Structure 1
């Protein structure tokens, strides 16, 4: 009996998380109703299915900011091979476009918890010539491991706890999310647009539009037409009425037009088949030949467009170098697209007339461990340098830069008069705020915080 001919499998690139609508563009959702969801939608001829479990509620609102912050810091650390990002809540807050206040550190903790608890099953589909549908299925988490220090907020409720700003924060990204960043999907967002946007929904919509704007060939679309119901599901908007979907998107549309990202947004079709057409603002097009060269070498389409535009004079040299390396030492470069991306973004790290020597599992493991040690050493040196600089600063500067952290640690431990006395002592130089914060953190780590605070109360009278 003749066997059915198996369909040829399409090449599946590292999944672009932004396409999947995991983070809703809405800022408020009913936690009970959003703890699990199942959606299927089609955008630009590509079908997606997302089934998710989120015990702390679906990621939403500022969670887009936090995801962008994580992606930016992970890329800035050259995408560590163990997928671990070592940072601080203070640094992640800044990368996530959040203001510097205690509320931000509370919201950051809530956001990280929501992202950690969310697990997703994704299906990505193609239509075959014989009418059947072929699917690729991925089961994934956004964050695999999460470690942080938190502290009581302004009351005794567990839900108000805040991250300690300068304490170590470690995030291990899920494999697919980390690989998506390595492939360059998330590094094409324009910083000027991100910082110009005022509200999280507009930032979430910008990220989603950029994800769907590029064809797999690297082509950058001038416009994107989407069915309103498919787009509602991609955006994570819960109410299915067309009028409410349009209302939920209207302010984000206005912001993106004002930022010069969109030229126009048109609504068309009938009541039953409403559609949106996004017209992107005209930007200087990169050389299409360079874009094709980068995409064929494994660079994701969004990053290929940006690199061809910004690093066009070096693209051919770098691609030729990586291809020569692969030809001379097959298997020595596991992710050519990621290496090309990094070489173009950070040329100071590479000498092109020398070939990488790593080959085999043992060499790759040693290289990974060396990169991890280097990243940790750099982070430690940066932290030590900042600490020494702060310790040498005038008393008034020390107080201004540590006051919020001291308030987080001591706000509930000291009376109003005692806090006022502490402020006078630090401003006058009788005490040094930076050294006090350092000693407080050490006492907390040794589980001796209460004894330290009791001694401080005695010193303050």
Structure 2
């Protein structure tokens, strides 16, 4: 299946260098079948297994109306949605304001017309399919196994072109992730994810198997340190992969191409079968990487404010320890002065990334100025968003990402669609819109800016209709 034309092969990163993460329950349970294609009547599956010596069960109930259970490329898109949610600050409502282009790009998929149809079908499957994890969902905060019933997506809405009802490149989407997934992410029950390596793998089957293998490397009770080897029963592994044909010989054939690619790409050093028949075992040995160094005291200080270890390491790598230490001190000053924040961890990350002077120092607590540098922002910088370089579509998508990040719920999904159309038409101007939004953020006037922005958009719409 086609991938992005410019996709480059990436070497897997050592665990200590990974800065992205995924929710650990979803990764470990393997909610999405690794099969690229399934029969339409493959609408349900059940897997029985052991968790800490106790029986557990995972059930999936899909629908033939949307192509059966989630499978294949659905896993790429689900991973992209989770990454976009974390990138936007992992807010408590679980919502993501985005566009089809952003989702497909993050998933490493092509942005041609038919992939919008694939995305639409994936969203329908993730919304309509029900999962029940019986004594198999880890409540990290309470340190216990629980039962959770959910749909991967709690809901989603999008806009369409006037002459069609399906997703298109001009759509705006609002998606809400399932409450159990949101709660786990916010409780920092996550595992590292090498997204660049994942999206550089050629086949959907390889990417799906990689996600499952990589999840099994981590202890579900403490998903921090990866194993260098693990062994699993072939029949059990077929169940975990949600493969229809469970005969060991068929499983070996099904997985061979994925194993070959993962070995060739130096993620695995070997995938070895031992035994005969249904007693066969499969041992995965991982390629040697750089040993992970213990986290520093600064990482511990950030994680104490509920910033994930992966994000903490990324911030320190990109900005340097001196900068992060200074901004942590500024954050502590803000808290001591009674600064009110919806999320302390999100505020701390924003203070560290701030290059616009949004959080001025108090006279009694002056922090030595640091050299300003462009942030490693998960979203594009304002200069990038307003750049004249690159195709108009790329400029518009970068600006949309910035504006969605700043405005959040101040615009509805339909209003975001109008905004996107306006940016394409130059009303409002891309540079002006992003810079004025940044200024409004600094001055605390985003509500009024949103009203003014909508006034500009509606005025342009009326002129176009006149």
Report the Cα distance in structure 2 between the residues aligned to 1:248 and 1:309, rounded to whole angstroms.
42
Structure 1 residues 87-236: aligned runs within 5 Å = 87-124=98-135, 135-150=145-160, 162-182=166-186, 188-215=192-219, 216-217=221-222, 218-236=224-242
Report the Cα distance in structure 2 between the residues aligned to 1:142 and 1:344, rounded to whole angstroms.
32
Task: Work out whether 1:49 is the aligned partner of 2:57.
Answer: yes
Task: Work out whether 1:374 is the aligned partner of 2:382.
Answer: no
3-state SS, counterpart of residue 188 of structure 1: strand
Report the Cα distance in structure 1 between the residues aligned to 2:283 and 2:296, rounded to whole angstroms.
28
- Say whether the 8 Å CA contact 1:27–1:201 is kept in structure 2: yes
Task: Using the TM superposition, give the Cα deviation of residue 85 of structure 1 relative to its aligned residue in structure 2, in angstroms.
Answer: 1.0
CA displacement 1:361-384 (0-9 Å, x = unmatched): xxxxxxxxxx98733569799847
CA displacement 1:149-192 (0-9 Å, x = unmatched): 45799xxxx9xx74121121111111122234445666732233
- Say whether the 8 Å CA contact 2:160–2:170 is kept in structure 1: no
- Say whether the 8 Å CA contact 2:303–2:312 is kept in structure 1: no
Task: Using the TM superposition, give the Cα deviation of residue 109 of structure 1 relative to its aligned residue in structure 2, in angstroms.
Answer: 0.7
Task: Work out whether 1:303 is the aligned partner of 2:310.
Answer: yes
Match of 1:27 in 2: 36
Report the Cα distance in structure 2 between the residues aligned to 1:322 and 1:273, rounded to whole angstroms.
59
Distance 1:328-1:302 versus aligned 2 partners, 3 A rule: closer
- Say whether the 8 Å CA contact 1:121–1:140 is kept in structure 2: yes
3-state SS, counterpart of residue 205 of structure 2: helix
3-state SS, counterpart of residue 163 of structure 1: coil
- Say whether the 8 Å CA contact 2:44–2:62 is kept in structure 1: yes
- Say whether the 8 Å CA contact 1:183–1:300 is kept in structure 2: no
Match of 1:432 in 2: none
Report the Cα distance in structure 2 between the residues aligned to 1:42 and 1:344, rounded to whole angstroms.
44
Match of 2:5 in 1: none
Task: Using the TM superposition, give the Cα deviation of residue 35 of structure 1 relative to its aligned residue in structure 2, in angstroms.
Answer: 1.7
| Bigger shift: residues 381-390 or 252-261 | 381-390
3-state SS, counterpart of residue 272 of structure 1: helix
Task: Work out whether 1:387 is the aligned partner of 2:424.
Answer: yes
- Say whether the 8 Å CA contact 1:62–1:200 is kept in structure 2: yes
Distance 1:293-1:286 versus aligned 2 partners, 3 A rule: farther
3-state SS, counterpart of residue 120 of structure 1: strand
Match of 1:38 in 2: 46
Report the Cα distance in structure 1 between the residues aligned to 2:232 and 2:106, rounded to whole angstroms.
31
CA displacement 1:413-449 (0-9 Å, x = unmatched): xxxxxxxxxxxxxxxxxxxxxxxxx99x979xxxx9x
Match of 1:431 in 2: none
Task: Using the TM superposition, give the Cα deviation of residue 193 of structure 1 relative to its aligned residue in structure 2, in angstroms.
Answer: 0.9
| Count of residues in correspondence between the two structures | 358
Taking CA–CA contacts closer than 8 Å with sequence separation of 6 or more, which of the two structures ends up with the larger relative contact order? 2
Distance 1:317-1:324 versus aligned 2 partners, 3 A rule: same
Report the Cα distance in structure 2 between the residues aligned to 1:287 and 1:189, rounded to whole angstroms.
17
Report the Cα distance in structure 2 between the residues aligned to 1:60 and 1:121, rounded to whole angstroms.
17
3-state SS, counterpart of residue 58 of structure 1: coil
Task: Work out whether 1:17 is the aligned partner of 2:50.
Answer: no
Report the Cα distance in structure 1 between the residues aligned to 2:193 and 2:314, rounded to whole angstroms.
12
Task: Using the TM superposition, give the Cα deviation of residue 238 of structure 1 relative to its aligned residue in structure 2, in angstroms.
Answer: 1.5
Tell me the TM-score normalized by structure 1.
0.62
Task: Using the TM superposition, give the Cα deviation of residue 286 of structure 1 relative to its aligned residue in structure 2, in angstroms.
Answer: 2.5
Structure 1 residues 249-260: aligned runs within 5 Å = 249-260=255-266
Q: Which runs of 5+ in 2 are unaligned?
A: 1-21, 138-143, 366-403, 431-456
Report the Cα distance in structure 2 between the residues aligned to 1:389 and 1:14, rounded to whole angstroms.
39
Task: Using the TM superposition, give the Cα deviation of residue 230 of structure 1 relative to its aligned residue in structure 2, in angstroms.
Answer: 2.0
Task: Using the TM superposition, give the Cα deviation of residue 273 of structure 1 relative to its aligned residue in structure 2, in angstroms.
Answer: 2.0
3-state SS, counterpart of residue 131 of structure 2: strand
- Say whether the 8 Å CA contact 2:62–2:130 is kept in structure 1: yes
Distance 1:75-1:244 versus aligned 2 partners, 3 A rule: same
Cα RMSD (Å) of the superposition?
A: 4.9
Task: Work out whether 1:288 is the aligned partner of 2:298.
Answer: no
Report the Cα distance in structure 1 between the residues aligned to 2:302 and 2:274, rounded to whole angstroms.
34
CA displacement 1:219-257 (0-9 Å, x = unmatched): 221112222222212211121111111222111112222
- Say whether the 8 Å CA contact 2:234–2:281 is kept in structure 1: yes
Q: Which runs of 5+ in 1 are unaligned?
A: 1-12, 127-133, 356-370, 394-437, 453-461
Tell me the TM-score normalized by structure 2.
0.61
3-state SS, counterpart of residue 31 of structure 2: coil
- Say whether the 8 Å CA contact 1:188–1:302 is kept in structure 2: no
- Say whether the 8 Å CA contact 1:37–1:51 is kept in structure 2: yes
CA displacement 1:82-133 (0-9 Å, x = unmatched): 211111222222222221222111111111101100111113459xxxxxxx
3-state SS, counterpart of residue 244 of structure 1: helix
